[in-house]
């Protein structure tokens, strides 16, 4: 049944020149038929470079908005309209504007997990795989880093020459991991390496053998000579790794590491969106696109 649905999707993709762009948190039945699977930075580059007429995004809303901003002449469809990222909604653009009015010296760095309206009032975007490199490359010393204070704290440690001002945003999924879970996992699996996403808290990160984006964690585990790993990011990454590396063993750091928004999208949703039933076309005015694009273009220039 699954294979039949996948087959129909592949056929529709071909016939209608549709590019299926998936985040690596999507389930395997989707990632194995997607045209591109990656972290949020890699997804941005893929959206920019495809020559398909339509981009279908299996992920969350800010990823589809980013694709539209980078490929404004294409039809961009978010497979599951309800799939948002709560962190993207945590800060209002007006709050940033008022901080900027009081502190014109701040360079405003926005995690890509933000709305297009918030990006429009920021100077440069970053992703988890590019944040350290981009912050290091900025000329300014004083930086307002929004919204994720955990990623911001991690970046501050890697780039001590800059002064980062942080707000209180975070990913509710990664930030839910507590120290008891870290201690239990390390006690139970003493030979395992701990691989963690920088959206986890600084307390958790201090025990990590590797800290990186979703694709960074995937690559590290595939290349490593170690045989056991505790994975500190969304459950799907441990699942993908277990398929890709059957000779290695992957444990989940916490049972809470399930992103309900990423999990909303099913293979059937992709099938229906391909047929034009379900899914939501991302509509933005040329002005909205132009304003938000400035900081995404800066991210690509400095992050590549």
User: In Å, how far are 31, 107, 170, 172, 187 from 146, measured between CA atoms?
Assistant: 30, 11, 9, 15, 35
> Using CA atoms, how far apart are residues 221 and 245, in angstroms rounded to an integer?
9
Residue 193's CB: how many other CB atoms inside 10 A? 17
126 binds ligand SF4 (CB under 6 A): no
204 binds ligand SF4 (CB under 6 A): no
Residue 73: CB minimum distance to ligand SF4, A: 27
Q: What DSSP state is assigned to residue 148?
A: B
> Using CA atoms, how far apart are residues 126 and 300, in angstroms rounded to an integer?
9
199 binds ligand 13P (CB under 6 A): yes
Measure CA 216 to chain center: 12
C-beta of 156 vs 215, nearer to ligand 13P:
215
Cis amide bond preceding 71, omega within 30: no
Tell me phi and psi for residue 211, to 5 degrees.
-120, 125
Q: Which of 43, 173, 211, 295 binds ligand SF4 (CB under 6 A)?
A: 173
Site for ligand 13P in 154-193 (CB under 6 A): 171
236 binds, among ligand 13P, ligand SF4, none (CB under 5 to 8 A by kind): none
127 binds ligand SF4 (CB under 6 A): no
128 binds ligand 13P (CB under 6 A): yes
Q: Which of 26, 80, 113, 150 binds ligand 13P (CB under 6 A)?
A: 113
Q: Which of 34, 79, 85, 155 binds ligand SF4 (CB under 6 A)?
A: 85
31 binds, among ligand SF4, ligand 13P, none (CB under 5 to 8 A by kind): none
Measure CA 274 to chain center: 23
C-beta of 115 vs 128, nearer to ligand 13P:
128
CB 44 within 8 A of CB 71: no
Write out the two tokens for 299. 């991210």
C-beta of 170 vs 292, nearer to ligand 13P:
170
> Using CA atoms, how far apart are residues 148 and 167, in angstroms rounded to an integer?
7
Site for ligand 13P in 16-55 (CB under 6 A): 39-40
> Using CA atoms, how far apart are residues 127 and 112, in angstroms rounded to an integer?
6
Q: Which of 234, 269, 288, 298 binds ligand SF4 (CB under 6 A)?
A: 234
> Which positions lie near ligand SF4, rule CB under 6 A?
60, 85-87, 113, 171, 173-174, 199, 234, 259, 261-262
> Which positions lie near ligand 13P, rule CB under 6 A?
39-40, 113, 127-129, 171, 199, 213-214
């Amino acid at each position: 049944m699954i294979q039949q649905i996948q087959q129909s999707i592949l056929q529709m993709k071909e016939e209608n020149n549709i590019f299926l762009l998936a985040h690596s948190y999507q389930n395997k039945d989707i990632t194995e038929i997607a045209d591109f699977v990656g972290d949020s930075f890699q997804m941005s580059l893929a959206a920019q470079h495809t020559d398909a007429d339509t981009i279908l995004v299996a992920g969350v809303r800010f990823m589809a908005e980013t694709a539209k901003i980078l490929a404004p002449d294409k039809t961009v469809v978010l497979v599951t309209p309800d799939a948002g990222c709560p962190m993207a909604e945590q800060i209002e653009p007006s709050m940033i504007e008022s901080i900027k009015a009081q502190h014109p010296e701040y360079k405003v760095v926005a995690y890509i997990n933000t709305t297009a309206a918030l990006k429009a009032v920021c100077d440069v975007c970053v992703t988890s795989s590019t944040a350290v490199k981009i912050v290091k490359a900025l000329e300014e010393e004083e930086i307002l880093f929004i919204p994720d204070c955990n990623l911001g704290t991690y970046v501050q440690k890697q780039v001590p020459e800059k002064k980062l001002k942080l707000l209180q945003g975070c990913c509710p999924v990664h930030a839910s991991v507590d120290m008891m879970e870290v201690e239990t996992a390390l006690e139970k699996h003493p030979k395992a390496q701990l691989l963690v996403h920088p959206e986890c808290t600084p307390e958790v990160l201090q025990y990590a053998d590797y800290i990186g984006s979703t694709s960074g964690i995937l690559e590290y585990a595939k290349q490593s000579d170690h045989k056991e790993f505790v994975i500190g990011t969304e459950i799907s990454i441990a699942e993908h790794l277990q398929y890709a590396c059957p000779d290695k063993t992957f444990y989940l750091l916490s049972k809470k590491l399930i992103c309900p928004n990423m999990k909303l999208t099913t293979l059937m949703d992709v099938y229906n969106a391909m047929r034009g039933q379900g899914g939501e076309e991302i509509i933005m005015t040329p002005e909205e696109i132009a304003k938000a694009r400035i900081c995404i273009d800066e991210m690509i220039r400095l992050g590549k």
